[in-house]
Amino acid sequence: MKKRLSLKEYKEGVLSGNRVLLSQAITLVESSLESDVELASKLVQEILPHSGKSLRIGITGSPGVGKSTFIESFGSLLIENGKKLAVLAVDPSSQKSKGSILGDKTRMEKLASNKKAFIRPSPAGQMLGGVAAKSREAMLLCEAAGFDVILVETVGVGQSETAVKNMVDFFLLLVLAGAGDELQGIKKGIMEMADGIVIHKADGDNMAEANRAKGTYQNALHLFPPSESGWTVPVLTASSISNIGLEDVWNRIIAFEAITLESGFKEKNRANQRLKWLDENLNFLLGKRFSEHPKIKSKLQAEREKVQNGRISPLALARELIAMFFDYSN
């Protein structure tokens, strides 16, 4: 049996930038074993004073938009600019299969082999609340290990965008130029979350379409209310294959960082994110304790068929189970 590391060994390993121990520490915070959860909680608390100094960038986009290609090229640019880079992929797949771990490292082969880059998918498990919490913890560990830019990639679509938006400083939306219907596949909520929009794969014969799409997105953004940060969302064009426009993307992110630091918005945003993290953990831990209570499990198993058959409403059973749970807890 593998020897269990102590809290001190995990902490010293992370703070020294040891990649093997950093990976093991992230595995620890992703574990659902109660003994691991307790140790992970202590570890996160210990490294908290050493975290928070990085620039956190979320990257999202529909499947096929080229997120992995963009991250590899953009990440390489950041490393050329002297940055130590960590990439965390919020993967909505199961804990058992570990989702796209091999896929991500294959698609980002060049970046994965760079000693100044660290790539780590964070599997979702059974609920998105778990994704957000564990991804945040992984991000803090990477910051404590000395990575000064963290790219958080949404692998899925839907709720994972909101989860990532709630843990980053800058949220980048990648889109493709189409045939006049660019906005059809983009939800308004995702557009409103974006701090920057990049029309990707803008090269060769696609340049004209990309420039036309740029105008379409700029017009659409005028319909949204001003952002709380005071930032005007830019629409940019870029090609990861041709390395066109990536420097411009980075310069806009740096400008956003400077503006939000000066205005105090960055710290206000992070403070709100920490409260959101608290709420997510409370909901997750309460739900876990509720669902694992033996009498609740027994009652739920016995009554589920009545809900399926329409003999009792889901709300009525839920209220009864909650009342039972708090009676047992008193």
pLDDT value at position 89?
82
pLDDT value at position 15?
97
The fold of the 52-263 domain, in CATH, is: Rossmann fold (3.40.50)
| 56-80 average pLDDT score | 93
pLDDT value at position 183?
59
Of the chain, the percentage scoring pLDDT greater than 90 comes to: 58
| 251-279 average pLDDT score | 95
Per-residue pLDDT tens for 163-195?
889 999 999 999 998 734 455 556 677 888 899
pLDDT value at position 59?
94
Instruction: Choose which CATH entry (3.40.50.1700, 1.20.5.170, 3.40.190.10, 3.40.225.10) describes domain 1-50.
Output: 1.20.5.170
For residue 232, name the pLDDT band (cuts at 50, 70, 90): very high
Name the amino acid, one letter, at 38: E
Given a contact cutoff of 8 angstroms between Cβ atoms, the answer to whether 135 and 152 are in contact is yes
For the chain, give the mean pLDDT: 86
How far is the C-alpha of 123 from the C-alpha of 131, rounded, in Å?
Answer: 7
- Chain centroid to CA 147: how far? 16
pLDDT value at position 130?
39
pLDDT value at position 160?
72
Prediction pTM value:
0.88
pLDDT value at position 229?
85
pLDDT value at position 285?
86
Residue entry with tokens 């009545």: 306
pLDDT value at position 134?
82
pLDDT value at position 107?
64
pLDDT value at position 126?
47
For residue 161, name the pLDDT band (cuts at 50, 70, 90): confident
Instruction: Give the neighbor-by-neighbor strand order of the sheet with 170-176.
Output: 117-123, 85-91, 149-154, 55-61, 170-176, 196-200, 235-237
State the DSSP string of 74-142.
HHHHHHHTT--EEEEEEE-S-TTT-TTHHHHHHHTHHHHT-TTEEEEEEE-TT-HHHHHHHHHHHHHHH
pLDDT value at position 128?
45
pLDDT value at position 178?
72
Q: Which residue has the higher pLDDT, 122 or 64?
A: 64
How far is the C-alpha of 156 from the C-alpha of 94, rounded, in Å?
Answer: 12
- Chain centroid to CA 312: how far? 38
* Alpha carbon separation from 274 to 46, 93, 123, 277, 289 (Å, rounded): 16, 25, 21, 5, 22
Per-residue pLDDT tens for 75-115?
999 999 999 999 998 655 544 444 444 445 556 778 888 88
pLDDT value at position 39?
95
| Statement: residue 328 has pLDDT above 60 | yes
Domain boundaries defined on the chain: 1-50, 52-263, 293-329
| 296-312 average pLDDT score | 92
How far is the C-alpha of 23 from the C-alpha of 138, rounded, in Å?
Answer: 9
Half-sphere exposure of 48 (CA within 13 A, CB side): 8
| Statement: residue 121 has pLDDT above 90 | no
pLDDT value at position 96?
46
